[in-house]
Amino acid sequence: MFLSDRVMHMRPSGVTGGLLLGGKPVFMDTYPDFSLKEEALRSVITDKTKIILVNSPNNPTGMVNSKEELDMVVRVAKEKNLLVFSDDIYDKFVYENGTERTYLGQLYDKTITFGGFSKTWGMTGWRIGYVAGPKDLIHEGLKDKYHVVKPDGAYFIFPEVPGGNGDKFVEKAWQGAK
């Protein structure tokens, strides 16, 4: 990813992942009902767009995108040959009985899913998370951008914080979110 590459985010949203990856965040307005609309999504995609980032349930709105909305994101991503980042950090905070949750990773093979345990299990101060997706996107895609240690025979990797300094990494992310 280059500084000129775009990462599409929904607005409102939390920290901007595009900056963390070295790209430029571009925001898609979801007001007034916080839903994903195809016209709005297409209006912010350019030839420099590389990634669509979806956060559902969304922080800070709590909006849970419908299967139809996620299908639309997949359709547009396939058409434009884009990666999809699915921020599922709040996925366990859906309390509707009988509602089967649809995940973008189930719908599109070029999806990288981000999740974690800290928020779900109330582990304040701990930052324990995971990334899941196709091997070529995870390991192969990260190894040139980050210092990655992958133990032989293991199914996990240990990426180092970009720049080697966690405090500066987080500070940069917050500056981009303002």
Give per-residue pLDDT as tens, 22-66: 678 888 999 999 999 999 999 999 999 999 999 998 888 889 999
- The verdict on residue 88 lying in a domain is yes
- The verdict on residue 56 lying in a domain is yes
Q: Which domain holds residue 61?
A: 6-134
What is the rounded distance in angstroms from the CA atom of residue 104 to the CA atom of residue 116? 16
- The verdict on residue 164 lying in a domain is no
pLDDT, residue 67, reads: 92
- The verdict on residue 165 lying in a domain is no
Q: pTM above the 0.85 mark?
A: no
- The verdict on residue 178 lying in a domain is no
Q: How many CB atoms lie within 10 A of CB 95?
A: 6
Judge contact between 75 and 104, C-beta under 8 A: no
Q: State the CATH number of the domain containing residue 19.
A: 3.40.640.10
Return the half-sphere exposure (C-beta side, CA atoms, 13 A cut-off) of residue 121.
Answer: 10
What is the rounded distance in angstroms from the CA atom of residue 21 to the CA atom of residue 54? 15
Q: Name the domain count of the chain.
A: 1
- The verdict on residue 105 lying in a domain is yes
pLDDT, residue 97, reads: 67
Give strand pairing partners of 49. 6
- The verdict on residue 153 lying in a domain is no
Judge contact between 77 and 52, C-beta under 8 A: yes
Mean pLDDT for 100-128 is 86
Mean pLDDT for 103-111 is 94
Judge contact between 174 and 20, C-beta under 8 A: no
